[in-house]
Amino acid sequence: MCLASLCLSLMLFQSVPEQAIPVCVVPEEELQVYKAALSHLLGNELHVLVLEDRTQASRTLQSGETEIYRHFYPVWAAYLKANEGNCKVAFSLKVSDSQVLLTHEAIEAYFVGEENYSWKRFRAEFSERSAYARVSRVGFGDKGQKALLYIEYMRGHLAGAGAYLLVVKSQDRWRVARVWVTWES
């Protein structure tokens, strides 16, 4: 996990021409879900947060994650609806003390070429203990009391994971109730 920085990139799985990507404003409730999920996954180790200007989502479930579909179908359906398209984001997510918003192309530029050198370039800019994450839009269910999102985060070459997170609202605070890891390296 990163102690000095977290780089959160909101990216696309599909390649969509730049002009075709709509801008979406992320509501405050969704920002609170992001904050709870990222804090849960990465702890209190965030100092720099690099956000990419696009969303991305996983739309498939592996055999181990079918519990999401079976037991949390309303929130899964809301997640799928929230992630029908990708968008450029217009939001400020306050998870760490300092943050940077970068374009998709700027994030990708760090990772052109040989893998280990790519991470050296990235860490030279953001610190030795840096990482980045990609998040989906949030799907809300159960009258706005449950939320589902997908996050991928990487800490280096062959050091990362992807997971669905079920986040529930209790006493006006969001907390992670379940995590389904979809892949890990």
Mean pLDDT of 31-51: 73
Residue 146 pLDDT = 96
Report pLDDT digits (tens) over 132-179. Answer: 777 888 999 989 999 999 888 887 778 888 889 999 999 999 999 999
Q: CA-to-CA distance for 164 and 49, rounded, in angstroms?
A: 20
Give CA 6 to chain center in angstroms. 11
Q: Which of 12, 13, 55, 14 shows the shortest CA–CA distance to 34?
A: 55
Residue 126 pLDDT = 78
What are the angstrom distances between the C-alpha of 60 and each of 2, 8, 63, 69, 133? 28, 22, 10, 10, 19
Return the domain boundaries, the chain: 6-184
Side-chain half-sphere of 26: how many Cα atoms within 13 Å? 26
The answer to whether 61 touches 126, Cβ cutoff 8 Å, is: no
Give the percent of the chain with pLDDT over 90.
17
